[in-house]
């Protein structure tokens, strides 16, 4: 993760150039990436493969359907991998928000029974800001097995 700032400033461009270390797989209309922050292990994002695309409605109908199919595939892959690795896994939440980053992307949030009671049934965005920047939850080598499991599930779902 030494090149963190290099790729983070241009997530899609670096993925297209093969330099985004969070990429798990190239999909039909984008890139499945594992999230920079892992306070909910398995958090992943689907990045559109064109940085000029700012919203789902910017895509022609066929590409729009391909992006949504990729979101479904990534969601199911995270569900399968996280369910196998943690018996407290509950479900995934899928979100296309578009409020911060100017490019189309979809969040895939695994949810767990071990989450704090006051948060488990609420949007992830209500977690304290400290969680988002805490080094304990930063993506790193300890997430390699989870990342590989998500990748294997993406491959299985492709056939």
Find, among 86, 104, 106, 87, the residue nearest to 96 by Cα. Answer: 106
25 DSSP 8-state letter: E
Kindly give, in sequence order, each residue whose CB lies less than 8 Å from that of residue 83, ignoring residues fewer than 6 positions away: 89
Give me the pLDDT at residue 1, please.
Answer: 42
**Sorting pLDDT into bands at 50, 70 and 90, what band is 5?**
low
At 53, which CATH number? 3.30.428.10
The predicted-structure confidence for 24-46, as pLDDT tens digits, reads as follows: 999 999 999 999 999 999 999 99
Prediction pTM value: 0.94
Give me the pLDDT at residue 159, please.
Answer: 76
Host domain of residue 51: 4-158
The mean pLDDT of 120-131, rounded to a whole number, is: 92
The predicted-structure confidence for 88-116, as pLDDT tens digits, reads as follows: 999 999 999 988 888 999 999 999 999 99
- Number of domains within the chain: 1
β pairing state of 89-95 and 44-48: unpaired
Neighbours of 142 (CB within 10 A): 10
The predicted-structure confidence for 44-86, as pLDDT tens digits, reads as follows: 999 999 999 999 999 999 999 999 999 999 999 999 999 999 9
The mean pLDDT of 118-135, rounded to a whole number, is: 92
- 2 pLDDT higher than 50: no
**Sorting pLDDT into bands at 50, 70 and 90, what band is 7?**
confident
């Amino acid at each position: 993760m030494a090149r963190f700032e290099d790729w983070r400033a241009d997530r899609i461009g670096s993925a297209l150039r093969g330099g985004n270390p969070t990429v798990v797989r190239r999909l039909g209309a984008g890139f499945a990436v594992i999230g920079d922050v892992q306070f909910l292990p398995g958090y992943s994002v689907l990045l559109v493969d064109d940085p000029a695309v700012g919203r789902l409605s910017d895509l022609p109908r066929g590409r729009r359907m391909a992006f949504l199919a990729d979101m479904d595939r990534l969601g199911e892959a995270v569900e399968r991998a996280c369910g196998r690795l943690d018996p407290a896994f509950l479900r995934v939440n899928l979100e296309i928000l578009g409020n911060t980053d100017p490019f189309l992307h979809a969040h895939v949030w695994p949810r767990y029974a071990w989450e704090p009671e006051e948060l488990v049934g609420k949007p992830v965005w209500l977690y304290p800001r400290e969680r988002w920047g805490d080094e304990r939850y930063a993506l790193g080598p300890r997430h390699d097995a989870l990342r590989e499991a998500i990748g294997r599930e993406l491959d299985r779902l492709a056939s």
